[in-house]
Structure 1
Amino acid sequence: MSLGTGRSMVRVRWPGGGMLLPRRGVIVVSVLLLAILVLGLVALGLGDYPLSIPEVISSLFGDQGFATTVVVEWRAPRVVGAIVFGAALGASGALFQTLTRNPLGSPDIIGFSTGAYTGAIVSLTVLGGGFVSESIGAIAGGLITAFIVYLLAWRDGIQGFRLVIVGIAVTAMLTGVNSYLLVKAKTEVAMAAYLWGAGSLALVDWQQVLSALIPLAVLGVATVLVVRPLRQLELGDDSATAHGVAVERTRLVVVVVGVALIAVVTAVCGPIAFIALSAPQIAARLSRGAGIPVGASAATGSLLLLASDLVAQHVIPGSVPVGIVTVVVGGVYLIALLIREARRL
């Protein structure tokens, strides 16, 4: 791969193809990736057995005895999980906010995260749980919810604001369903589902991370492929159709890819709220380009989730699930976003 430069654009070339990217966007993503690397090394060194960054690097690339066990086997799965899952959440949020043309068009606002949680709860309470069944349940729940929301919001096509309103209503109903399922479940099952539902990376191990990496890699490729037609949709349906884009089919593919991204994450560590909501808007402000940058949103999501997990582990006394931290931070962000949108009216 090579880079060709221009005044405001950078051409990324690889064998058989290439694409133009905004120079500022490339710089923003590079800085975010560097920050993720540094913060990841810091996270690998923090804990009851503290290690310096040089010691962490030595443990990653050589056998340092107990230090290698601590870094590679105990801490690395959680750090890698935070980076990968944060990227999936950020990318999913970027897809939906671009599709709906609304900063509130996030999968955790319009019900898809809640639907994935419902599917996982059904798997846990009815089928007895297990990583595979919970994963299937979460993905099925998210896709079924997406289908219902899409169907209810359809009126000679999909309009972003209507999709958000319908999604909020479906979220409220699914929250009631989830509460009912937990009340009727056995106490130990309900407690496990409740704790898992807070959204936590504490129990993530290498097996779960590697199992999630395969579908997320496929979905990552699908995300890259849908970005170009999605950009055409931003110009309006008539313009997109004139450029040969199958409008409704593209919307449906974007919904499926976005829901699958959020569902895989939910299946592994529970519903982690507000990363998908806030990461795309932060990335858009950093990049200052047209539309919401999917790559920068994914990198921002990684950094946000990794930082939130560090706060959950090492700043708050007693250590709490990362989902609690993201809810607090995201709640403040959502209030600020609603105030800003109200002032525009």
Structure 2
Amino acid sequence: MSAPTRPTPPDVRLGRAVRVVRSRGGTLSGRIDLRTVVVCLALLVVALGVTVVALTTGDYPLSVGQVLGALTGVEDGPVRTIVVEWRLPRALLALVVGVALGASGAIFQSITRNPLGSPDIIGFNTGAYTGALVVLMVIGGGYGGVTAGALVGGIGSAVLVYFLAYRRGVQGFRFVVVGIAISAMLAAVNAWLIVTADLESAMAATLWGAGSLNGTSWAQAGPATVLVVVLLVPMAALAPRMHLLELGDDAATALGLHAERTRLALVVVGVALVAVATAVAGPISFVALAAPQLARRLTRGAGVQVLPAAAMGAVLLAASDLVAQRLFAPTQLPVGVVTVVVGGAYLIWLLVREARR
């Protein structure tokens, strides 16, 4: 007769990528497997490659050596101006905004447990855009005011969606449906603000509303980078708890997690990431929708993960901005036009795939 086996501790494995455990002290820890690390590194290499191409191509082509020389201070004069003052802020902002959108998309798709639960679908992008438009056209203000307005608008729309969708907890499907309804109403408000504005302001708001990185300088790229890096710190701390919420509120509570408090914290961080991205580049669509699911397929995980989604978001937006710059050169398209085309194709594929299931 064999000896009885010892009972195993509470241990939940979410796919191959993350394992979350509860220790005796109630703290949470996570482990990322080798495939996830390799995928993240590969995506970072691709993003870096796209950035190098963006820095070397344009109306004034440069070599990789000239770009490196400008970055290290060896090159001076026109080369340094082109690389450091003109091209680098835009390339950096594309990566930063892509990271913010990818991470935010992972948060809301995890909370709603729905691949359609991204901030551009459930209205948080639109709410941030509404807040920014109010500052631009009604109150008046610079970059700081627009950022604050986008943050207030995004959080306000999130609170409204959360309140209307709450029925003894938040159901993912209800959250998505309510978010789509709020997004439609806010889109009408945005259209009214633009129609009633003067012609110059309306044209600027319409171009910005398409999602654009044209004319980016360090005045936008620097603060946005700092804000996104700061927001990724609480995001990293909340990531293990986010995966526990995917098991359901009852299971998460049994493992010592305060479900509603954690969900609210995730919503605040996710909306803040969207607000920063919207304030500097406008409401760029479909990156937050596609990045988490594409990264999930590469990592082969059971749930969406923040780091791969953020890296995929950087790749998608950097590549889309490069296409927007060079496709009809010297005319530059808003990057949102490219992401809508790519994201629309992805959404059609996703809907067809889900319907076949």
TM-based fold match above 0.5: yes
- What letter corresponds to residue 31 of structure 2 in structure 1? L
1:128 maps to what in 2? 140
**Structure 2 SS opposite 1:20:** strand
Question: CA-to-partner distance for each residue in 1:202-245, whole Å, 9 max, x for gaps?
Answer: 12211211111222122100110111111111111111001111
CA contact (8 A) 2:128 2:151 kept: yes
**Structure 1 SS opposite 2:32:** strand
- What letter corresponds to residue 306 of structure 1 in structure 2? A
CA contact (8 A) 1:287 1:293 kept: no
**Structure 2 SS opposite 1:44:** helix
- Indicate the structure (1 or 2) with the bigger Cα radius of gyration: 2
Alpha-carbon distance in 2 for matches of 1:276, 1:10:
21
**Equivalent residue runs for 1:153-164 within 5 Å:** 153-164=165-176
Alpha-carbon distance in 2 for matches of 1:256, 1:76:
30
**Structure 1 SS opposite 2:31:** strand
**Structure 2 SS opposite 1:217:** helix
1:256 maps to what in 2? 268
2:340 maps to what in 1? 327
Which of 159, 162, 165 is the matching residue for 2:177? 165
1:14 maps to what in 2? none
Alpha-carbon distance in 2 for matches of 1:29, 1:303:
11
**Identical aligned pairs, as a percentage?**
57
Alpha-carbon distance in 1 for matches of 2:256, 2:138:
46
Alpha-carbon distance in 1 for matches of 2:142, 2:190:
19
Alpha-carbon distance in 2 for matches of 1:100, 1:75:
38
Task: Give me the TM-score of the superposition, normalised by structure 1.
Answer: 0.93
- What letter corresponds to residue 41 of structure 1 in structure 2? V
Task: Give me the TM-score of the superposition, normalised by structure 2.
Answer: 0.90
CA contact (8 A) 2:285 2:343 kept: yes
- What letter corresponds to residue 293 of structure 1 in structure 2? Q
CA gap 1:61/1:10 in 2 versus in 1, 3 angstroms: farther
Q: How far did 1:42 drift?
A: 1.0
CA contact (8 A) 2:43 2:312 kept: yes
CA RMSD of aligned residues (A): 1.6
Structure 1 residue ranges (4+ consecutive) displaced by more than 3 angstroms after TM superposition: 8-11
1:336 maps to what in 2? 349
Whether 2:88 is the aligned partner of 1:73: answer no
Alpha-carbon distance in 2 for matches of 1:230, 1:20:
14
**Structure 2 SS opposite 1:194:** helix
- What letter corresponds to residue 63 of structure 1 in structure 2? V
**Equivalent residue runs for 1:199-218 within 5 Å:** 199-218=211-230
**Equivalent residue runs for 1:298-313 within 5 Å:** 298-313=310-325
Question: CA-to-partner distance for each residue in 1:64-86, whole Å, 9 max, x for gaps?
Answer: 12211111111000000001110
Q: How far did 1:36 drift?
A: 1.2
1:32 maps to what in 2? 43
CA gap 1:206/1:153 in 2 versus in 1, 3 angstroms: same
1:5 maps to what in 2? none
Q: How far did 1:18 drift?
A: 8.2
Task: Name structure 2 gaps, 5 residues minimum.
Answer: 1-15, 20-27
- What letter corresponds to residue 284 of structure 2 in structure 1? I
Alpha-carbon distance in 2 for matches of 1:110, 1:10:
27
Task: Name structure 1 gaps, 5 residues minimum.
Answer: 1-7, 12-16
CA gap 1:142/1:46 in 2 versus in 1, 3 angstroms: same
